[in-house]
């Protein structure tokens, strides 16, 4: 199974794990082993369980807060001498002798306590957003122009999709989410016999390889070709060459798939099928597709949650199908808005 960007692997990994189908990520790390995902998960664990020393040590200076190794060693020594947890030592940073970064450590402690308060009553997705915003972690990569940092940002956006899926399936806590993902990663780390496993890899990693059956995922505009390539003719041509690499990895059967909409950090995007699909002669293709997901049936008086505006009540509706329009009065400062459910992820609360 080939994909243009590493972030696309997560959804496939989850399905394969659930179906007990062994797989192997070629030339890369599994989703939950990627640095940025381990960082964000460490934030969630440290806030939900302040006694998790390993997670605290991972995030205390990420993004950089001028809390160096020397300061961290002093905190660990102080915690040992006073028989405290590391988090308790962090809260008492100003009492630690000769701790140069005492102010920075104190601010870190305040941030953790603030986020612990924000966690109460929040969905996992809402809490994830609070953590990314308050810590500055997502912004650290958003401000970078490096290709590898953009890839890390895509993986963080994929984690957002995971939490949204979790919130839709069950109204669980952050601890419930951490327990579920822990089970997934434990299974993921079991060694598989690579000879009898589905191979997952980026198209770049597939160069020089051939397989009897190949699936190419996400063959749609802004994904393949990638959005970052669309500004120049040369960029699109490079993507076309890469697509050629993808389709020529198959010896017997080739499956090209795309979806009609994607969610990126809560924003739903309607993507067109890739221009490259139109360049394949019709006589060589056979088209099929899954049945569309059943849309929620909205009614006047129904309580819903909007990803940006929060909780509101449907007060009017008009149109049907893709043309349906809802009038929603939100409890927040946003008041009454007209919302098109086709392009907005609304969660029905009751």
- Residues 68-106 have pLDDT tens digits of 999 999 999 999 999 999 999 999 999 999 899 999 999
User: How far is the C-alpha of 92 from the C-alpha of 183, rounded, in Å?
Assistant: 35
Q: How many CB atoms lie within 10 A of CB 85?
A: 14
Q: Which of 54-63, 178-187, 331-340 reaches the highest mean pLDDT?
A: 54-63
What does the domain layout of the chain look like in residue ranges?
29-190, 198-284, 302-348
Written as six digits, the tokens of 153 are 């940002």
Q: Which among 34, 58, 33 has a CA at the least distance from the CA of 44?
A: 58
How would you label 103-142 residue by residue, b for 16+ Cβ within 10 Å and e otherwise? ebbbebbebbeebeebbeebbbbbbbbbbbeebebbebbe
Contact call for residues 243 and 202 (beta carbons, < 8 A):
no
Instruction: Identify the pLDDT of residue 84.
Output: 94
Q: How many CB atoms lie within 10 A of CB 255?
A: 13
Reply yes or no on whether the pLDDT at 62 is more than 90.
yes
Instruction: Identify the pLDDT of residue 14.
Output: 80
Instruction: Identify the pLDDT of residue 295.
Output: 53
Instruction: Identify the pLDDT of residue 264.
Output: 64
Same fold, 29-190 and 198-284: no
Instruction: Identify the pLDDT of residue 255.
Output: 97
User: How far is the C-alpha of 77 from the C-alpha of 91, rounded, in Å?
Assistant: 14
Q: Which fold has domain 198-284?
A: Double Stranded RNA Binding Domain (3.30.160)
Give mean pLDDT, residues 270-299.
80
- What DSSP designation does 21 have? -
Arithmetic mean of pLDDT over the chain: 87
* Confidence band for 320, pLDDT divided at 50, 70 and 90: low
pLDDT in tens, 115-142: 999 999 899 999 999 999 999 999 999 9
Look up the CATH number of domain 29-190: 1.10.486.10
* Confidence band for 339, pLDDT divided at 50, 70 and 90: confident
Distance of CA 13 to the CA centre of its chain: 13
Written as six digits, the tokens of 238 are 């490079």
């Amino acid at each position: 199974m080939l994909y243009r960007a590493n972030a696309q692997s997560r959804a496939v990994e989850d399905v394969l794990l659930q179906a007990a189908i062994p797989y192997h990520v070629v030339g890369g790390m599994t989703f939950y082993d990627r640095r940025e995902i381990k960082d964000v998960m460490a934030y969630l664990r440290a806030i939900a369980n302040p006694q998790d020393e390993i997670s605290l040590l991972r995030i205390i200076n990420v993004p950089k807060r001028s809390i160096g190794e020397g300061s961290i060693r002093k905190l660990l020594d102080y915690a040992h001498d006073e028989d405290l947890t590391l988090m308790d030592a962090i809260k008492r940073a100003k009492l630690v002798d000769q701790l140069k970064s005492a102010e920075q450590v104190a601010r870190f402690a305040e941030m953790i306590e603030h986020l612990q308060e924000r966690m109460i009553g929040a969905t996992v997705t809402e809490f994830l957003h609070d953590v990314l915003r308050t810590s500055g972690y997502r912004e650290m990569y958003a401000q970078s122009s490096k290709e590898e940092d953009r890839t890390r940002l895509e993986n963080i956006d994929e984690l957002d999709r995971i939490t949204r899926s979790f919130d839709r399936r069950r109204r669980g806590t952050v601890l419930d989410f951490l327990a579920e993902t822990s089970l997934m990663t434990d299974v993921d780390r079991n060694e598989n016999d690579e000879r009898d496993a589905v191979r997952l890899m980026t198209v770049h990693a597939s160069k020089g390889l051939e397989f009897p059956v190949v699936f190419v995922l996400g063959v749609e505009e802004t994904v393949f070709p990638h959005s970052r390539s669309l500004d120049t003719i040369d960029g699109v041509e490079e993507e076309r060459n890469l697509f050629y690499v993808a389709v020529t990895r198959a010896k017997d059967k080739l499956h090209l798939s795309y979806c009609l909409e994607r969610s990126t950090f809560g924003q739903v995007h309607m993507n067109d099928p890739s221009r490259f699909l139109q360049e394949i002669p019709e006589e060589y293709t056979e088209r099929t597709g899954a049945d569309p997901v059943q849309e929620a049936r909205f009614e006047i008086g129904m309580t819903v949650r909007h990803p940006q505006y929060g909780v509101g009540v449907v007060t009017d509706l008009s149109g049907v199908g893709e043309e349906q329009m809802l009038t929603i009065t939100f409890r927040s400062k946003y008041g009454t808005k007209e919302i098109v459910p086709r392009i907005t992820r609304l969660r029905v609360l009751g």
